[in-house]
Structure 1
Amino acid sequence: MRAITVTEPGSSDKLELSTVPTPEPGPGEVQVKMQAAGVNRGDVLQRQGHYPPPAGITDIMGMEALGVISALGEGVTGHAIGEQTLALLGGGGYGEYFVVPQGQLITLPEGIDPLVAAGLVEVAATVVSNFDRVKLGEGQTVLIHGGAGGIGTFAIQYAKAIGARVLVTAGSAHKLEYCRELGADEAFDYHEDWQSAVMVTTRDRGVDVILDIIGAKYLEMNVESLAADGRMVIIGMQKGVRGTLNIGELLNRRGTITATSLRGRPLAQKERICRRVEEVVWPLVSSGQIAPGKQTRIPLAEAARAHDLLESGDNIGKIILVNSQ
């Protein structure tokens, strides 16, 4: 089969369209012929050599995909060859075929273009699992960094759907306006003093929850932006992995800092998250309460262009790779 491989860690020019063995499903797994695969920051980090796949997982990138089941492993029940499905993956989405544990298959949301849904799996799983973790609820205020990105655009809408007040940061007037169109109550340019703006708009109370993709650079400012009993969940490291923390500030707020990664979770946890997406998130998508964000579709063979676009910071919404074979 054809797949995107990495010749050596580095820039996007290290990506190649190669011929590799077609993976076969083991017990409890299914083989899927890929139709589309989402492009995520984790893929870029893996290409750069900073985010290796978990033990036993293919080194082909791709953590979410859409496809048609082409073979069933021993013991698989409830699925059939020819069934179109979504999948949450540890890797493999950038290939014409991938294998996945049957528990990580996800039904398509009703009334949504399957290609559109292909770009929703990772963001839906990330958002619902992390907001569950920090117990975001109705009437609370959440600050979402990177509001115009794939995760941000979904998180804005999900938070609004459950009754939260939403503040976001983004990097341009165009992106800030897009966030407001999606439902953000306040949007701040991260090139400016966003922390002071957060405290002004919350009347010095701070926010109940922060969803952070930035990492070290924002650590102290995030803590200072928390309300009493506030919770922050770090899901990205775009601006560094080592920061300083004033423990006194955290203590005074009775604050909580947690960090998660979806890819390396145990199978049972991933299965629970997949069911949570089906039960809680997809009805909001099908009803229109969450509208899929903007999407850029790029052929599988041009994965390097997709990575360049993601890294440029110019993209709004989600990028997916489409397999036309």
Structure 2
Amino acid sequence: MKTHAMLLRENGPPTNLELTEMPVQTLGERDVLIEMKAAGVSYVDMLQIAGQYQVKPHLPFVPGQEGSGIVAEIGPSVRKFAVGDRVITSHSTGAWAERAVLDERRVTALPDGIDFVAAAGFRSNYATALLALQRARLQAGEVLLVHSAAGGVGMATVHIGKLMGATVIGTSSSDEKLAVVKAQGADHVVNYSDGFRDEVKSLTGGKGADVIFDPVGGDVFDESMRCINYLGRIVVIGFTGGRPALAKTNHLLIKDASVIGMTVGSFSAHEPEAAARNAEQILTWVGEGKLTPYVSHTLPLARAAEALELLRQRKVVSKAVLTMSDA
């Protein structure tokens, strides 16, 4: 059996990707063959293709870490799934293909009511968002400030923050993207191109935000420290702004504030049962229609390089997804 896939033979720009036909690996005892319908596109994919990510797959490889599809065949010891089941998939690499073989432990049943495109890219984003808000101990009625709210994890944080009963303020450098963030449930939006401290203070009656979600770092973190409420919490998940921030401890002392770092990878490794419960909770919310992932761009598999370029140019809002030829 063969499959079409986007293959990378040499690290470099996305144009190094080529659509090719290649053999599908043989199923093991606990493996499932998935007819892939859609696959998410992320910054991790872009970094892996460029050879700049900390985990460097052996060349050649097929990129893609998450997707959705239908079970086409199962190994002899598989008990969780049957042929025809709709599923969500988690890959180290290999999602950008029409067929993929995975251990059944990397496959999750897809709830009714969500299509393959929406399902393809939400798993890691919502897992990060939920864990961040748990670590921050977000309570109903508190003010949640979400930086880069138009990004995949930012949008997921807006969604879950509202579900948890918070008043959500979303930031971005684009008014066009902020319009989407507002439509997706944020109570207030702020363009932080010229700063955000004064507007956040104004929106909160001078108090500041109770919880601040920060994937940006750098100057954004510094300014966040100046609009945080008493007993406020900043959750740091990255530093896309270019430099890790240095917290001024005098600000922490004055506000009795906390800075919290987290990664889903560490959480899953150290607390696998809790991570599994979070994944189940997210799927329950999706199945109940309480969470609906937002996808701004959908492109066919053969245009993967174009999808990555849209991501690089920051034209993607929340998520871009690749669809397979028979999706």
Q: TM-score, normalised by structure 1?
A: 0.86
> Equivalents in 2 of 1:281, 1:256: separation in Å?
26
Q: Which amino acid aligns with 2:308?
A: H
Q: Which residue of 2 aligns with 1:103?
A: 105
Q: Which amino acid aligns with 1:130?
A: A
The yes-or-no answer on 1:12 pairing with 2:10 is: no
> Is the Cα–Cα contact under 8 Å of residues 39 and 307 in structure 1 kept in the other structure?
yes
> Is the Cα–Cα contact under 8 Å of residues 301 and 324 in structure 2 kept in the other structure?
yes
Q: Which amino acid aligns with 1:147?
A: A
Q: 1:32 to 1:138 in 2, by over 3 A?
A: same
Instruction: Report the alpha carbon displacement of residue 33 of structure 1 after superposing the two structures with TM.
Output: 2.6
Q: Which residue of 2 aligns with 1:201?
A: 203
Q: Which amino acid aligns with 1:208?
A: D
Q: Which residue of 2 aligns with 1:308?
A: 309
Which of residues 80, 83, 93 in structure 1 aligns to 2:82? 80
Structure 1: state its 5+ residue gaps: none
> Equivalents in 1 of 2:315, 2:197: separation in Å?
23
Q: How do 1:63-212 residues align onto structure 2 when only pairs under 5 Å count?
A: 63-73=65-75, 75-212=77-214
> Is the Cα–Cα contact under 8 Å of residues 214 and 235 in structure 2 kept in the other structure?
yes
Instruction: Report the alpha carbon displacement of residue 8 of structure 1 after superposing the two structures with TM.
Output: 3.5
Structure 2: state its 5+ residue gaps: none
Instruction: Report the alpha carbon displacement of residue 287 of structure 1 after superposing the two structures with TM.
Output: 4.1
Which of residues 31, 34, 37 in structure 2 aligns to 1:32? 34
The yes-or-no answer on 1:299 pairing with 2:308 is: no
Q: Secondary structure at the match of 1:224?
A: coil
> Equivalents in 2 of 1:76, 1:133: separation in Å?
35
> Is the Cα–Cα contact under 8 Å of residues 166 and 185 in structure 1 kept in the other structure?
yes
Q: Secondary structure at the match of 1:218?
A: helix
> Is the Cα–Cα contact under 8 Å of residues 90 and 263 in structure 1 kept in the other structure?
no
Instruction: Report the alpha carbon displacement of residue 202 of structure 1 after superposing the two structures with TM.
Output: 2.0
Q: Which residue of 1 aligns with 2:250?
A: 248
> Equivalents in 2 of 1:231, 1:24: separation in Å?
49
The C-alpha deviation readout for 1:138-180, integer Å capped at 9, x for no partner, is 1121111122233233321221111011011012222222222
Q: TM-score, normalised by structure 2?
A: 0.85
Q: Which amino acid aligns with 1:285?
A: V
Moved more, 73-82 or 137-146: 73-82
Instruction: Report the alpha carbon displacement of residue 305 of structure 1 after superposing the two structures with TM.
Output: 0.4
> Equivalents in 1 of 2:19, 2:263: separation in Å?
28
Q: Which residue of 2 aligns with 1:224?
A: 226
Cα RMSD after superposing both structures? 2.9
The C-alpha deviation readout for 1:185-216, integer Å capped at 9, x for no partner, is 21110212112222222233222222222233
> Is the Cα–Cα contact under 8 Å of residues 150 and 317 in structure 2 kept in the other structure?
yes
Q: Which amino acid aligns with 2:298?
A: R
> Equivalents in 2 of 1:277, 1:266: separation in Å?
11
> Equivalents in 1 of 2:285, 2:148: separation in Å?
22
The C-alpha deviation readout for 1:213-237, integer Å capped at 9, x for no partner, is 2233423223333323322222333
> Is the Cα–Cα contact under 8 Å of residues 6 and 302 in structure 2 kept in the other structure?
yes
The C-alpha deviation readout for 1:237-266, integer Å capped at 9, x for no partner, is 322243333222234333333333335765
> Equivalents in 2 of 1:269, 1:74: separation in Å?
30
Moved more, 32-41 or 250-259: 250-259
> Equivalents in 2 of 1:265, 1:60: separation in Å?
27
Moved more, 4-13 or 264-273: 264-273
Q: 1:214 to 1:14 in 2, by over 3 A?
A: farther
Q: Secondary structure at the match of 2:199?
A: helix
Q: 1:237 to 1:49 in 2, by over 3 A?
A: farther
Q: Secondary structure at the match of 2:275?
A: helix
The yes-or-no answer on 1:289 pairing with 2:290 is: yes
> Is the Cα–Cα contact under 8 Å of residues 38 and 323 in structure 2 kept in the other structure?
yes
Q: 1:176 to 1:125 in 2, by over 3 A?
A: same
